[in-house]
Structure 1
Amino acid sequence: MTDPRTATAETLSEPATLDFRASARRTLTLEQQAIGELVTKLDARFDAACRLLLACRGRLIVTGMGKSGHIARKMAATLASTGSPAFYVHPGEASHGDLGMITGDDVVIALSNSGETQEITGLLPLFKRLGAPLVSLTGRPGSTLARYSDVHIDVGVSREACPHDLAPTSSTTAALAMSDALALALLEARGFSAEDFALSHPGGTLGKRLLLRVADLMHDGSRLPSVATGSPLREALLEMTLKGMGFTCVVDERGMLAGVYTDGDLRRTLDQRGDFTLLRVDDVMTRGGKTAAPDMLAAEAVRIMEDNRITALAVVENGIPVGALHMHDLLRSGVI
């Protein structure tokens, strides 16, 4: 028997008793169908749930048991990161003290495919006593949880992807998709922006891409490579070497950017001019050149570099170079 830990593509291509890819295709198809069925079930109850969640003066409390609990945790995390303050409460712990985290200003969102999960149904009278509205996602509109809810959303599926129609697969996929639909509908209703999203993700790559500006990363002041128009080419080469940016700005008598001289320009000069000891930088520079603005998002500067296949940009404000940005700066910052 082939050891799966050391198997190669050739050994794995041998005939087997099970067609793994056929099994995967069947699973993915069934789960895709389950999500497709949700689209046809969307009705006024979804609107009512969104209005109830938007009107919440406290927090959104998401609860679920077992596999539904895993989906509930993810739903709470998605809601919290998209402008709807939320947290997960384990239904088993709620009856042993954690119910104190829930107030009448909160809205409870309960997930249970059967709608009969004892740990949740046992809490229903307590939710009512607290005065916390209840939104439920179940696969059975006639279940206890659905009947107790202020708003019920049907996330039932025709069958599980499990070949025995037992293991929660299609049903958890459907519940996850509907929870995302709710979270993003609320995001749009709140006008939650990319900048708002970044503020709740400051430590990750997403936050850096959305928050960092060119001015945060650029080399300015004495670190800015710059020579005046009319300067000997050797002076531009010395400035490029000294500042280590792979280019230098070329400025006119008013301090305005006239062009740039880059490593690529140097290669072209060597190829086309031969002896360049008498050349002025104006003779061989790239006029104008690609630039960035100080308040531009660093991620946008990355796009300019990638689109033009360059590794550095002059940072210009009102036509005057105020900084220089290199691809290495963007790499170090985590923007790319």
Structure 2
Amino acid sequence: MTDNAIDIKAIMADILEAESKAVASIPYTSDFDKAVSLIVDHVKQRGGKLVTSGMGKAGQIAMNIATTFCSTGIPAVNLHPSEAQHGDLGVLQPDDVMLLVSNSGRTREIVELLSLADELYPGIPSIVITGNAQSELASRADATLFTGGVPEVCPLGLTPTTSTTLMTVIGDILVVNVMKATGFTKAEYAKRHHGGYLGHKSRQ
């Protein structure tokens, strides 16, 4: 190993340990129960949909959460916060519920989106996934899902790494709990997923 070489195995072990501890330390609060209830009530009972949004890496996670919810019986769309200011806000309907993803809890485009949504439909409920429980978004949300705010494993402490892992896991927590709350079945999954290996498996 040269002086400039890196020990990938050791770095990998450190990352796995750090991120595993971070996931295991996601703090439970009653807001998780409230978030699940909001989704079930607005989508299943009122006929609305889940509208997710985030900027940058968080936006990619928001999109993934939306597509996962779609395949598990919860109609969902992802709304780009910038495009929302140029007409896409029209996708919102009165009985929808919003799921906003922002590690800092103060992403300008998401804060503005929340204000625009409330102007269009005052009182539209919002769920926020964030690493900053004291942020503006957290204070305005109906349910705040706190990641724990642990440092990134990025050696610069800048690149979204641990934070994106935690946001993804919280998305999974929501999906699984909503599936259980609604009694979503394998047969219902098959109706929504026709192609590929999963479509075949769901119909066996």
Amino acid at match of 2:91: M
Q: Deviations over 1:248-296 (max 9, x none)?
A: xxxxxxxxxxxxxxxxxxxxxxxxxxxxxxxxxxxxxxxxxxxxxxxxx
Amino acid at match of 2:202: L
Shift of the alpha carbon at 1:210?
2.5
Instruction: Report the 3-state secondary structure (helix = DSSP H, G, I; strand = E; otherwise coil) of the residue aligned with 1:136.
Output: strand
Q: Deviations over 1:99-120 (max 9, x none)?
A: 0001111001000000110111
Give the aligned partner of residue 51 of structure 1. 37
Find the partner of 1:174 among 166, 169, 174. Answer: 166
* 1:94 pairs with 2:80: no
Amino acid at match of 2:39: L
Distance across 1 between alignment mates of 2:114 and 2:200 = 42
Give the aligned partner of residue 114 of structure 2. 124
Give the aligned partner of residue 113 of structure 1. 103
Instruction: Report the 3-state secondary structure (helix = DSSP H, G, I; strand = E; otherwise coil) of the residue aligned with 2:101.
Output: strand
Tell me if the contact between 1:63 and 1:110 (Cα under 8 Å) persists in the aligned partners. Answer: yes
Give the aligned partner of residue 197 of structure 1. 189
Amino acid at match of 1:106: D
Find the partner of 1:28 among 6, 11, 16. Answer: 16
Distance across 2 between alignment mates of 1:43 and 1:148 = 17
* 1:150 pairs with 2:105: no
Tell me if the contact between 1:27 and 1:162 (Cα under 8 Å) persists in the aligned partners. Answer: no
After the TM superposition, which parts of structure 1 deviate over 4 Å for at least 4 consecutive aligned residues?
none
Tell me if the contact between 1:30 and 1:160 (Cα under 8 Å) persists in the aligned partners. Answer: no
Tell me if the contact between 1:37 and 1:157 (Cα under 8 Å) persists in the aligned partners. Answer: no
Instruction: Report the 3-state secondary structure (helix = DSSP H, G, I; strand = E; otherwise coil) of the residue aligned with 1:46.
Output: helix
Greater percentage in strand: 1
Q: Which runs of 5+ in 2 are unaligned?
A: none
Distance across 1 between alignment mates of 2:142 and 2:6 = 47
Distance across 2 between alignment mates of 1:84 and 1:31 = 29
> Using CA pairs below 8 Å that are at least 6 residues apart, which structure has the higher relative contact order?
2
Distance across 1 between alignment mates of 2:70 and 2:196 = 16
Quick check: 22-31 or 111-120, which moved more?
22-31
Give the aligned partner of residue 208 of structure 1. 200
Q: Deviations over 1:26-61 (max 9, x none)?
A: 1121111110111xx112111011111110121100
Amino acid at match of 1:50: V
Give the aligned partner of residue 184 of structure 1. 176
Instruction: Report the 3-state secondary structure (helix = DSSP H, G, I; strand = E; otherwise coil) of the residue aligned with 1:113.
Output: coil
Instruction: Report the 3-state secondary structure (helix = DSSP H, G, I; strand = E; otherwise coil) of the residue aligned with 1:122.
Output: helix
Quick check: 155-164 or 80-89, which moved more?
155-164
Amino acid at match of 1:28: L
Instruction: Report the 3-state secondary structure (helix = DSSP H, G, I; strand = E; otherwise coil) of the residue aligned with 1:153.
Output: strand
Distance across 2 between alignment mates of 1:152 and 1:164 = 27
Tell me if the contact between 2:132 and 2:149 (Cα under 8 Å) persists in the aligned partners. Answer: no
Which entry has the higher C-alpha Rg, 1 or 2? Answer: 1
Instruction: Report the 3-state secondary structure (helix = DSSP H, G, I; strand = E; otherwise coil) of the residue aligned with 2:25.
Output: helix
Tell me if the contact between 2:39 and 2:50 (Cα under 8 Å) persists in the aligned partners. Answer: yes
Amino acid at match of 1:75: I
Find the partner of 2:68 among 60, 78, 100. Answer: 78
Shift of the alpha carbon at 1:196?
1.2
Amino acid at match of 2:157: D
Amino acid at match of 1:101: V
Give the aligned partner of residue 42 of structure 1. 28
Give the aligned partner of residue 267 of structure 1. none
Give the aligned partner of residue 161 of structure 1. 153
Q: Which runs of 5+ in 1 are unaligned?
A: 1-14, 212-296, 298-336
Amino acid at match of 2:187: E
Q: How many residue pairs get matched?
A: 196
Tell me if the contact between 1:34 and 1:171 (Cα under 8 Å) persists in the aligned partners. Answer: no
Quick check: 179-188 or 29-38, which moved more?
29-38
